[in-house]
Structure 1
Amino acid sequence: MTWPAGPRWMWKWLSILAGALIYALGLNAFLVSNHLAEGGFVGISLLFLYLLHWPLGLTFFLLNIPLLWIGWRVFGHEFIVLTTGGVVAVSLFSSLTARIQLPTHDPLLGALYAGVVTGLGLGLIFRSGATTGGSDIIARLVRHRYGVSMGRTLFSIDVCVIGIVAVLIGRETAMYSLVALFVASRVIDFVIEGTRRGKALTIVSDHPEAIADAIHRQLERGTTLFQAVGGFTGTPRQVVYCVVSREEVVRVQQIVHAADPRAFVVVNDVHEVLGEGFTR
């Protein structure tokens, strides 16, 4: 077996290490110091910390050992190697940053801080192609064996962990922890998608060529013309489809209105926009 090398592999590891450090800081500085919880295996590790005073980093690492071994046998080696790196880095940095405490007077403010910082760290780890193990490996195993979506499995695990937190720690702690989880999920999406997000416009008009030509000239964006048939009228016509940045949506709408005030326009969010004009 040959291990990948080169700049791409190096940047993956740097991203994992940076993300693990930021994530560990978010855990200790905001979650632990404000006595909040998390979902997944980190949430379980925090319960052991609060109830039995077991070290967060060590508990998290021990919980992941059997799952990493199973994942190694089931999935590709590159994924498990990167994920093992993420687990080890999070465990190590969680121990090294354990003394960093930044408690807030308002638990809600602490939850918001925790969500932003942990979401940033996890986003960097996920963007590198790794995970922090635990629930992510279980979700992959369940999808591999039973075909259940990863999102559904992850959500179920988080609900169970937060439910246990509500029973053992308190309902207020569970609610503030949910706030932190929600904020973290939004930040993760932003970090992973970054500037590759855009808007797709589907334009139904009697003047498709004029609209497409104006978009080409004024925005220097490409368009695609689809042949379509009106479902109600049965009239054949062309539909203009284009993807632009979020800042350019209003300009496209102005172009369409100037060419055909009666045009029908649908605007959708799109993710991972790759290609000319966006990212290479």
Structure 2
Amino acid sequence: MKTKIKEFVLINIGMIMVSAGMYFFLMPNNLATGGANGLAIVINKFIGGLSVGWIMIIINLFLFVIAFVIIGKSFGGKSVYASFGVSGIIIVFQKFIPIKNPLTGDIFLELVFGILISGIGMAIVFNQNASTGGTDILAKILNKYFHINLGKGVLMCDLIITIMAAFAFGIKLSLYAMLGVIINGYVIDNIIDGINVCKEVTIISKNSHKIRKYIREDLEKTCTIYNGVGDFSNENKEVLVVILGRREFITLKKFINSVDKDAFITVNNIYEAFGDGFKSLTH
């Protein structure tokens, strides 16, 4: 239950960030940086009667119907919720915080901040095994029928939208939007890596039994034990390997320092870990 509540809260935080980045920074500058929102900005240029938020709802509704028919239910209820949630939040912003002009007049500054805020929001949503819809759905269709990598599929769809933006807003804004698409990909990948990063710690110590006990009882983790032999000393040694979160690693490092200042430790970054104590493979 706690996991579900945490997931729900994080998805909503991500949705608000995505909506804020789009509404306050990208939309006032007509920066169509891909996705359903980018397409909605382009369409809004030609159909002024509908707000960007409502156009996004129509686009996502159309895409989810196609996804349901072609892909099946694999896109998940959370993605449906997040997609329409972002559109709904933008509609609320438009009603209660109307913006007619860009905040600063510096298009590059607003592009960077818009992409950073919305990109971090998307990364949070993606990390909960959901998506904000739009070109993600088209990418899944391309993957199913043409075996195109999902990341490349999203990039292809987004670049097509930025080309459409050239006809709506001119080459300059289209190039800014294309730059935004590229930055957005890097932001999402790096944020997700940062959220999921764990530490693989290898420990060789004369007090390995104390360290094992601390890992098991205080950190509530388990380690793998290998039997090794020192090349110079020819002594048998226990080699402990454990995967921990960043905070747990800091705590363990302090404990090891207190029981064996000469312990040998190596640390590697692990960007995803599945199984007991970590994410489920079916998540």
Q: Kindly tell me: are residues 279 and 152 of structure 1, through their superposed partners in 2, closer, same or farther at Cα, counting changes over 3 Å?
A: closer
Could you tell me which residue of structure 2 aligns to residue 258 of structure 1?
262
Structure 2 residue 92 is matched with structure 1 residue 90: no
Partner of 2:270: 269
Letter of the 2:262 partner, please give it.
A
What letter matches 2:106 in structure 1? D
Superposition TM-score, scaled by structure 1 size: 0.68
Q: How many residues align?
A: 259
Give the conservation status (yes or no) of the 8 Å contact 2:158–2:181: no
What residue ranges of structure 1 are gaps of 5+ in the alignment? 1-5, 230-236
User: Which secondary structure state, in structure 1, belongs to the residue aligned with residue 88 of structure 2?
Assistant: helix
Secondary structure of 2:104's partner? coil
Deviations 1:152-192, CA, capped at 9 Å, x for gaps: 212222333334446744165235524652464157527xx
2:202 touches 2:239 (CA, 8 Å); kept in 1? yes
Contact 1:16 1:85 (C-alpha < 8 Å) held by counterparts? no
* Alpha-carbon separation, structure 1, partners of 2:182 and 2:116: 11
Task: Report the alpha carbon displacement of residue 68 of structure 1 after superposing the two structures with TM.
Answer: 1.1
Deviation at 1:112, TM superposition (A): 3.0
Alpha-carbon separation, structure 1, partners of 2:267 and 2:2: 41
Give the C-alpha shift of residue 21 in structure 1: 3.6
Q: Secondary structure at the match of 2:242?
A: strand
**Which secondary structure does the structure 2 equivalent of 1:131 belong to?**
coil
Is the counterpart of residue 47 in structure 1 residue 16 in structure 2?
no
Q: Out of 172, 189, 192, which is 1:189 matched to? A: 192
| Match of residue 23, structure 1, among 18, 24, 27 | 18
The residue that corresponds to 2:27 in the other structure is: 32
CA contact (8 A) 2:26 2:32 kept: yes
Residue equivalent to 1:62 = 58
Aligned CA distance change for structure 1 residues 211 and 85 (closer, same or farther; 3 Å): same
Q: Using the alignment, how far apart are the partners of 1:18 and 1:157 within structure 2?
A: 26
Q: 5+ unaligned residues in a row in structure 2: which ranges?
A: 230-236
Letter in 2 for 1:132: T
1:1-280 aligned within 5 A: 16-50=11-45, 52-53=47-48, 55-75=51-71, 77=73, 79-98=75-94, 99-101=97-99, 103-165=103-165, 168-170=170-172, 172-174=175-177, 176-178=179-181, 181-182=184-185, 184-186=187-189, 189=192, 194=195, 196-201=196-201, 208=204, 210=206, 212-213=208-209, 215-216=211-212, 222-226=222-226, 240-246=240-246, 248=249, 251=253, 258-259=262-263, 265=266, 267-272=268-273
Say which SS state the counterpart of residue 148 (structure 1) adopts: coil
Shift of 1:30: 1.0
Letter of the 1:55 partner, please give it.
Answer: S
Residues 116 and 183 in structure 1, CA contact (< 8 A), matched pair in contact too? no
Q: Secondary structure at the match of 1:91?
A: helix
Alignment match, 1:3: none
Change (3 A) 1:91 1:270: closer
**1:214 Cα deviation from its structure 2 partner:** 6.3
Q: What does the per-residue CA deviation read over 1:191-245, in whole Å, with 9 as the maximum and x for residues that have no partner?
A: xx74x53111457xxxx4647446436766643135799xxxxxxx986432233
- Separation in 2, partners of 1:88, 1:216: 48
Query: How far off its partner does 1:25 sit?
Result: 2.3
Do the aligned partners of 2:205 and 2:260 also contact (CA within 8 Å) in 1? Answer: no
Does the C-alpha gap of structure 1 residues 225 and 13 become closer, same or farther in structure 2, counting only changes over 3 Å? closer
Q: Distance in 2 between matches of 1:214 and 1:165?
A: 63
Work out the percentage of aligned pairs sharing the same amino acid. 20
